[in-house]
Structure 1
Amino acid sequence: MKNIDYIREEIREFSKANEFLSYREVDELQNVLYEDETILNITTGGIDRYKGLFLLTDDRALFIYHNEINQPKVLEVPYEKLEYIHMKQGNYYVSMELFFAGTKIEISDLPPDDADSFKQDLTFQVDFYDKMMKNGIPQKKKFRLLRLLLFIGIAVLTGYLVGPQFHVVEVYDEVLTDALPIEEAEESYQLEFTEMEINKDEYETTVRGIIKNLSDKEYRYISVDIQFYDKKGSIVDSQIQSIYDLKPGKSWNLDSYTISEYADTFEVVGVYAEMAE
């Protein structure tokens, strides 16, 4: 077990140490961090409606928080499992999507002044582990018997028991409020979806199509939620595309893409339109 006083000293090296140390999640780190594991970067963030601490160590990315009944929750992505990172800029905060094993974790509400350094550090670690694996350098084994039992205990507590590691199976997605399924949207909004096709190249998978306004109404904006699936039918990404001021009889050339190498098929799962006043 890593000493909590040593952990606090590590955190004091960061510019926002007082803020980070005010989080009760700090006390849980002594049960989560390996004895020889080093904190490389730390910030605050959120998952769903829960606020917590987001850490990068020399082995993995960790997000730790407390749920509605004050249970500590730990989400982990080892660097060797991480496939790619995607940043999304909001009005005041930044979101970071971590993709691994056909799954996505989205860490929201990252302070903008921390987001760039986190992305740089995370990219460096992923590249480093990727080179080690390609060169056949064995990964050091972290789990001793006591450590293994400790992690299993935490995993049972958090509900994420997958051997000694924590993995998330949910995809955290943006939500289109009051969106309609595509069939209902075509009827209610009098929109026509044609030439919807998916194309894959070396770098990305693209969905393109044409959406035509067959009504006599002008829409102030239209938003479309597209989900991408792998060959097993698991969601690997989702994108919301929008257009503004689509007049009667006019068409919108929809263009959406994902950088997931696992994307194989797609589905338009939601459509929302608002008429111009």
Structure 2
Amino acid sequence: MKVRFLDKRVFKIFLQITSVISAALSTLLLFVDIHDDFKILSLIVFAVVLLGVYIVVWIGSNRLNHVEINIDGTNVTIKVGDIFTEPGLKAIAFNEYFDTQVDNQIISEASLNGIFLKSYLDISVADLDRKIDDFRFEPDEIIGTDDRRLTGKLRKHRIGTIFIHKDYLLTAMSKFDDSNRAVLTMPEYLEFLIRFWDRVNKVYAQKSVVTPIFGSGITRIKGHKNISDEDLLKIMLWTFRISEMRFKYPANLSIVIHKDKIDKINLLDIKLLGNGV
């Protein structure tokens, strides 16, 4: 279980509920007199009801798969789902080269961008490559070429750079080492997020934006071997809060979690943090 039975956050919610129950019961007892023969039984029943309420709160906390919080006026939804079925602009993370070669070496078929390229791209990969090559990126978004690469593209983009294809925001998130493994340091991950929110602020055109948990999966964050998806989610929310990005109603931000990963993420913690992330 993600949430322990005696978790103080569960107890806090339980106290909020029982305070309402106690107030209602106290009001009722002003008008109803319980016979002495039934007082002990009534006390036992009340204790059992409270225990049942606590268990329901605890189970619900562990099964929580959808929370909504407000960050400085922006509605942020964190939920289980399929990013490809969500309305709005969908962010898909690529590497710094915007590689499109799905060969389980440069791009895994099971990765989000691999699934996008294989199943959801509405044009050929060659056409997408041409569009990316011809796109006028900002001068600081192209940082040179790597002529030493034996496979994949050569032009490198600054992390956080965004290329828009219809309802998809393709973003350069990860750097590649000499073995074509996605790697990032924590400062680079933070830089990516800050730049990503900044770029989204310029291009979202009052449309809702949907993202995955960036960095979840194959990306390796140097020096943080044990960083969890929940940690990454909290970092995303924190960088969003300190950025200048704010969605104007009715647009909002959704962060979609894959169903296979929700068991590792305690959404109760996120819900109670609220605007305090």
TM-score by length of 2: 0.22
TM-score by length of 1: 0.22
* Larger RCO (alpha carbons 8 Å, 6+ apart): 2
- Higher strand content, 1 or 2: 1
- Higher helix content, 1 or 2: 2
Which is higher, the Rg of structure 1 or of structure 2?
2
